[in-house]
Amino acid sequence: MNKPTGIDPRGPRFGASITAVLLLVDVFISIPLATAPIDTEAPGYVLLVVLSAIFLWGAVGGIQQSPYALFFAKFIRPRLKAPTFVESPAGPTFSQAVGFIVTITGVLLYLAGIPAAVPVAAAFAFVAAFLNSVFGYCLGCEIYLLFAKRGITFGLEKPGTPRTTRVGSDHNI
Amino acid sequence: MEYGIVAALLVVSTLLGLVWKSRQGNVVAQSGSTISLDFREAGKTTILQFTTPMCGPCAQLKPRLEKIANFRTDVAYRDIDAVEHLDLANRLSIRSTPTTLIVSPDGEIRARINGIAPAETFINAIEGTIPTRSVTATEETVI
């Protein structure tokens, strides 16, 4: 029997959980930056740059190649039961791009002399990551759906892209 | 101040999530809208599920709805890719997936269920025995 293709939906949610925690930490430590002179060595700014780079990694390489997904696949997934369904990576990958745009905007505006941009961008990104991790609501996927409905898929739905598929609980994928 | 802002952020995010969650599985009664035979089965109540290729919950919901149709001779199940049937999805204001419509044997859309819900919710919507919010054809496009 062919193994079902697609990604384990728990992977992106795991990544969103870590991202949400890191973004919340970033909001906390970057609030003082809002009233301080620009400092490119400030931890709050540096953490947002790192998170932005991780979002870019996931957006360019695909959600399956993001560091959290690789960690999930190597250390967590083998300890879990097979998922009841697998999903297309297009939506979660697009979400990484949305996360990148939000965080890099914060980084660039900070460099442009708007210090409050770091905590504000981190806060916006946190809300999206929190909704995904706690409630399973993927805001980026919903935005992607708006584009996909108009036939704009950003090359994420190439022929052969795995579609969301239900799998039997006895499937080992 | 940092603690206050972080706490406020958590409260706002949680409220947003709870609002979204509370809308999942809501049954909205409809009347006045009809759907063509291309998308339903004649003489049967049709459970019409709108899906998209990237929708994980759609795959989760599908077997639940298929099972209802399998157990009842008067009910049929159809799924429609909202991306492939964009006109239909737009005309019916399908803004997210899964969205499920309960279509009567004569083609009238009786109810709309957004998101995932227990099988009982769909069965009750088919039977018309669940308290619902009513929407008339003025709010929904007739196709």
Domain boundaries, chain B: 24-135
Is the Cβ pair A145, B54 closer than 8 Å?
yes
Which residues on B lie below 8 Å from A97 (Cβ)?
none
With a cut of 50, say whether residue A69 has pLDDT above it.
yes
pLDDT at A44: 95
pLDDT at B40: 86
- Residue B126: phi, psi to the nearest 5? -65, -45
**What are the tokens at A159?**
């022929």
Q: How far apart, in whole angstroms, are the C-alpha atoms of residue A6 and residue A141?
A: 15
Q: What is the mean pLDDT of chain A?
A: 86
Q: Does B93 touch chain A (CB under 8 A)?
A: no
Most A CBs within 10 Å, among B1, B50, B54, B64, to test the A interface: B54
What is the share, in percent, of chain B residues with pLDDT greater than 90? 27
Q: For residue range B70-104, what is the model confidence (pLDDT) as tens digits?
A: 988 889 999 998 888 888 888 888 878 889 999 98
Architecture of domain B24-135: 3-Layer(aba) Sandwich (3.40)
Q: Look up the ipTM and state it.
A: 0.81
Please report which confidence band the pLDDT of residue A112 belongs to, taking 50, 70 and 90 as the band edges: very high
Is the bond preceding B98 in cis, omega lying within 30 degrees of 0?
A: yes
Q: For residue range B34-47, what is the model confidence (pLDDT) as tens digits?
A: 888 888 888 899 99
Query: How many helices (H) and strands (E) would you count in chain A?
Result: 6, 2
Q: What is the mean pLDDT of chain B?
A: 82
With a cut of 80, say whether residue B54 has pLDDT above it.
no
